[in-house]
Amino acid sequence: MSTFRTLALKILHGVVRLAPPHATEWSLAMLCEVDFIENDWSALSWALGSTRLLLTRPTDSQVANSSLPGAIQKLRAKVRQRTIGGCGLALAETLAYAALIYGFPSPIQRLGCCVGIAAMFYTGYQLFAWRTRKAPMAADLLDSGDYYRAELLRQRSFHRGLCLWSRLTVMICALILFCVGGIIAEPDGLRAYVSIGIGLVCVRLVAVWLNLRQARSYQRDTEQVDKFLPTLDHQTN
């Protein structure tokens, strides 16, 4: 076997190994085809062309067929990570509010802390509420599509609409009670409490922006799945 052909085969085997899921079959097709090319130089040229497959992007239906189980796994990992992060933050804020209950003498401030703790519990509830059933088997594309869509919708709801604004309202109420209570109890600390209040409102505004951005991202993914589902439905029937 000539050097050119050996090199061609090495390139093609490498492409088969590295090809993204939607291009695997095509890279194999190119590898098999090289055996039918008699000229060694042409075989090398053929093999070099195969590297283009590594840069191709899948069409919508190819994504639906090859990447849906992967997308589900990715989404589940992301949701798990965010749930753990969200619970961690909620727990930290709960502990901070709990510590403040004993640190401040003003009953209004204590009430604010209690409302803050309630807000954190409410956030925790929202993180776990309406969780979808267990992920289906990867082989069942239609079921996977439905599961993926339901999970995307749940995530989208968490990051916008009633869920977002209700938990934000409770958090802001806690903040107002805490600051107003502080100002009443210590009129000299007016400037400090106003600064704390403004700082925390800014943090909440950033959180709202991030939540709405996240919701838009889930909305885009949902629309993408909606495009796949009729195709999947057609394939399964």
- Which positions lie near other proteins, rule CB under 8 A? 22-23, 25-26, 28-33, 35-37, 45-46, 48-53, 56, 58-62
Q: Please state, as a whole number, how many other Cβ atoms lie within 10 Å of the Cβ of residue 5.
A: 18
Nearest partner of 232 among 155, 156, 148, judged by Cα: 148
Smallest separation, CB 144 to other proteins (Å): 19
State the Cα–Cα distance between residues 233 and 237, nearest whole angstrom. 6
Smallest separation, CB 28 to other proteins (Å): 7
Smallest separation, CB 179 to other proteins (Å): 58
Nearer to other proteins, 50 or 123 (CB): 50
Smallest separation, CB 72 to other proteins (Å): 21
Smallest separation, CB 8 to other proteins (Å): 11
**Tokens 């055996």 correspond to what residue?**
35
Nearer to other proteins, 178 or 228 (CB): 228
Smallest separation, CB 11 to other proteins (Å): 11
Nearer to other proteins, 23 or 115 (CB): 23
Nearer to other proteins, 67 or 219 (CB): 67
Nearer to other proteins, 51 or 126 (CB): 51
Smallest separation, CB 21 to other proteins (Å): 12
Nearer to other proteins, 46 or 178 (CB): 46
Nearer to other proteins, 56 or 81 (CB): 56
Tell me the three-class secondary structure of the chain, residue by residue: CCHHHHHHHHHHHHHHHHCCHHHHHHHHHHHHHHHHCCCHHHHHHHHHHHHHHHHCCCCHHHHHHHHHHHHHHHHHHHHHHHHHHHHHHHHHHHHHHHHHHHHCCCHHHHHHHHHHHHHHHHHHHHHHCCCCCCCCCCCCHHHHHHHHHHHHHHHHHHHCHHHHHHHHHHHHHHHHHHHHHHHHHCHHHHHHHHHHHHHHHHHHHHHHHHHHHHHHHHHHHHHHHHHHHHHHHHHHC
